């Protein structure tokens, strides 16, 4: 029996290990790794109960008490952190909608906690219980999906591209008054840093600056990025421009065309440079575009991280919105079906 239960986390770990080696940019890596952790904890609990000894229950009670104390206090600390981060972010970056995502998330979680305490289902007829149950399952689905995303994102951060690249794609993020703003400058600086590191060991890569011209920009973003890099000491002959793209996906697609034309399809090694919070989603777009490219990330101010992570998660949900609409639709559709049965036969 012990061996059967022990084999479950082992299977999940093998699935994760194989999937991560194949491609660290997969969202499913988070699911496999979290499944491994959960089943491994279950195995540990079973092992403590299964073995015969004077301390078996004592060893089991300690982590259970820790979780009982950690979950409520950890949730309160998390909420306080979100509210504080929203305050700091809006003070530093301005009171704009895109800077209020952590505030919205905190208010949403607080609302769910209050709703759970009040239990509004008790004010409605019993036959509506399946609808409230379905809504609860949707909330659980969202939180599990978000947790899998955070795990896959964190695991992807450990990936380090080798310094044998032929190309570095620098992803654009917009100009301000036709000048490279700090966010975009950090991406270029990261590419310049990698360029100089590789140059010490082998032939330097070509840097492709990818970004088109926005409606409020006087020049293509790629041109301003190239000029900035040349000022940083990059020889202009080691730079290339892709000045048609207007999205991250187009950054990847159009840059791939340039590399394919210059070196032949699949006959080169490439990476992309962006901000570290953007690495995972950019990697998914690179995979979608057919690029076997990993990312290198520039550092981001700590106060900017939580809001950026919420934005990244929303963007990834939108990328695969059909799948999520289908799951939520099935849950709520089945809940509605049960509600109708309870209404007509109660």
Nearest to 241 by CA among 280, 209, 201, 287: 209
Which pLDDT value is given to residue 86? 87
Tokens 């929203």 belong to: 86
Helix axes 129-156, 305-319, angle to 10 degrees: 110
Confidence (pLDDT) at 66: 64
Rounded CA-CA distance 312/295 in Å is 15
Q: At what angle do helices 305-319 and 279-288 cross, to 10 degrees?
A: 20
Q: Where are the domains of the chain?
A: 167-300
Residue 251 has which token pair?
């950054």
Q: What is the pLDDT along the chain (346 residues), one digit of tens a residue?
A: 667 777 888 999 999 999 998 888 889 999 999 999 888 877 777 776 666 665 556 656 666 666 677 667 777 888 888 888 888 888 877 777 878 888 899 999 899 888 888 888 888 888 888 899 999 999 999 999 999 999 999 888 888 888 999 999 999 988 888 888 888 999 999 999 999 999 999 999 999 999 998 887 889 999 999 999 999 999 999 999 999 999 999 999 999 999 999 988 878 999 999 998 899 999 999 999 999 898 999 888 888 888 888 888 999 999 889 999 999 999 999 999 999 998 888 6
**Distance between the two ends of the chain, CA-based, in angstroms?**
44
The neighbouring-strand residues paired with 239 are 207
CA distance 14 to 17: 5
- Dist CA 170 CA 46 (whole Å): 50
* pTM listed for this prediction: 0.81
Residue pair 296/262 in contact by the 8 Å Cβ criterion: no
Buried b (16+ CB within 10 A) or exposed e, 271-291: bbbbbbbbbbbbbbbbeebeb
Which helix (H) or strand (E) element contains residue 248? helix 248-263
Q: Please name the residue that has the structure tokens 């009040």.
A: 118
CATH number 3.40.50.620 given to 167-300? yes
């Amino acid at each position: 029996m012990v061996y059967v239960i022990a084999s479950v986390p082992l299977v999940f770990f093998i699935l994760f290990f194989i999937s991560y080696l194949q491609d660290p940019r997969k969202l499913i890596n988070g699911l496999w790794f979290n499944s491994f952790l959960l089943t491994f904890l279950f195995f540990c609990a079973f092992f403590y109960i299964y073995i015969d000894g004077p301390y078996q229950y004592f060893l089991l009670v300690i982590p259970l008490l820790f979780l009982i104390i950690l979950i409520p206090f950890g949730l309160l600390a998390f909420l306080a952190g979100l509210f504080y981060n929203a305050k700091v972010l809006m003070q530093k970056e301005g009171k704009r909608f895109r800077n209020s995502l952590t505030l919205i998330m905190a208010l949403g979680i607080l609302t769910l906690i209050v709703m759970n305490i009040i239990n509004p289902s008790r004010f409605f007829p019993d036959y509506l219980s399946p609808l409230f149950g379905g809504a609860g399952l949707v909330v659980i689905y969202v939180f599990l999906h978000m947790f899998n995303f955070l795990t896959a994102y964190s695991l992807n951060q450990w990936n380090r591209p080798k310094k044998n690249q032929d190309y570095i794609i620098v992803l654009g993020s917009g100009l301000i008054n036709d000048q490279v703003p700090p966010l975009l400058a950090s991406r270029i600086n990261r590419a310049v840093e990698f360029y100089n590191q590789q140059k010490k060991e082998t032939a330097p890569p070509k840097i492709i600056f990818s970004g088109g011209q926005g409606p409020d920009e006087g020049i293509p973003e790629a041109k301003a990025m190239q000029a900035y890099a040349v000022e940083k000491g990059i020889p202009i002959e080691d730079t290339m421009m892709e000045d048609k793209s207007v999205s991250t996906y187009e950054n990847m697609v159009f840059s791939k065309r340039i590399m394919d034309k210059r070196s032949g399809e699949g006959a080169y090694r490439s990476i992309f440079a962006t901000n570290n919070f953007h690495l995972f989603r950019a990697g998914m777009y690179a995979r979608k575009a057919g690029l076997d490219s990993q990312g290198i990330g520039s550092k981001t101010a700590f106060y900017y991280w939580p809001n950026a992570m919420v934005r990244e998660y929303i963007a990834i949900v939108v990328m695969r919105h059909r799948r999520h609409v289908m799951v939520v639709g099935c849950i709520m559709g089945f809940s509605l079906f049960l509600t109708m049965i309870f209404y007509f036969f109660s």
